[in-house]
Structure 1
Amino acid sequence: MELGTILKADAVKTISSCTSKKRLFHDLGELAEASYDLPASTVIDALIEREGLGPTGVGQGIALPHARLSQATRVYGLFLRLEKPLQFDAVDRMPVDLVFALIAPQNAGVDHLKALALVSRTLRNGSICAKLRANSDPATLHTILTEMQSSQAA
């Protein structure tokens, strides 16, 4: 599995201002609807429900919200770069500025876990995160995420 197979170029966005975690989930829901034709309200509700089980802020300014949806036919990725970091109840209590969300089918099982591990591994790379933080153009962000990851596999 490669990030390029789960993350479409139009599912990457830079947001100048986000005031709350709930607003962030709304932005992700709207992006999921625009990019993958998933119902925004269902995505939002699923992300909020999953977040209720425990924060998905993994530290170092990174959040990996994820949810399962019956409407999803495969694993879908969404990436947001926040120009103004947002408090997210992350494990290290640091605000979040890089958000990679995953939406998976209800019965995705191993594919969902593989995608989550892949995204986590990619965003643990300090040089990738530095490049993501230094750029705001969505096409450039998509290229950084997909090309860096595929070149590591080679």
Structure 2
Amino acid sequence: MNFMDLLTPDAVKIVGAVSSKKRLMHDIADLAASAYGFNASMTVEALMERESLGPTGVGHGVALPHARVPDLDEVKGLFILLEKPIDFEAVDRQPVDLVFALFAPEDAGVEHLKALALVSRTLRDANFCTKLRSNPDANKLFTILTEAQSVQAA
């Protein structure tokens, strides 16, 4: 599995300002609806339900919200760069500006975990995150994300 399997160019976005974590979840659901045809209200509900189990802000400005979505047949992702970081109740209490959301089929097992591990491992690299933060262009971000796997594999 690699980022090309998870992302499409339409699923990468830069967002200027978000007022809250809840608003961000709505923005994620709206982006998932436009990029993949998801039902936005069901998606935001699934994201909020998962988030109620524990925050998905993993630290160092990174959040990995994820949820299981009905009628999905493969794991999909989206990436948002926030121009203005927000409080995401992250484990290190630092505001979040890099958000990689994952959506999995309701019956997904190993594929969902592989995708989460891939994204988590990649976004733990401080140099990689710096590169993302310094390229506020959605097309460049998509290229950086999708090339990351081939560079790591080499």
> What interval of TM-score do these two structures reach, taking the shorter chain for normalisation?
over 0.9
- Structure 1 length-normalised TM: 0.98
Kindly provide the CA deviation profile for residues 13-55 of structure 1, in whole angstroms up to 9, marking residues without a partner as x. Answer: 0000001011001100010010001111111000000000000
Mark the runs of 5 or more structure 2 residues left unpaired by the alignment: none
Q: CA deviation at 1:72?
A: 1.2
Q: CA deviation at 1:4?
A: 0.9
Cα distance in 1 for residues equivalent to 2:150 and 2:4: 8
Matched, 1:4 2:4: yes
Kindly provide the CA deviation profile for residues 69-97 of structure 1, in whole angstroms up to 9, marking residues without a partner as x. Answer: 12211101010000000000000000000
Alignment of 1:2-151 (within 5 A): 2-151=2-151
Mark the runs of 5 or more structure 1 residues left unpaired by the alignment: none
Percentage identity across paired residues of the two chains? 60
Q: CA deviation at 1:63?
A: 0.2
How many residue pairs match? The answer is 154
Asked if the contact 1:59/1:91 (under 8 Å) is kept, the reply is yes
Moved more, 127-136 or 52-61: 127-136
Letter in 2 for 1:19: S
Moved over 6 A (4+): none
Q: Cα RMSD between the aligned structures?
A: 0.6
Letter in 1 for 2:20: S
- Structure 2 length-normalised TM: 0.98
Asked if the contact 1:128/1:145 (under 8 Å) is kept, the reply is no
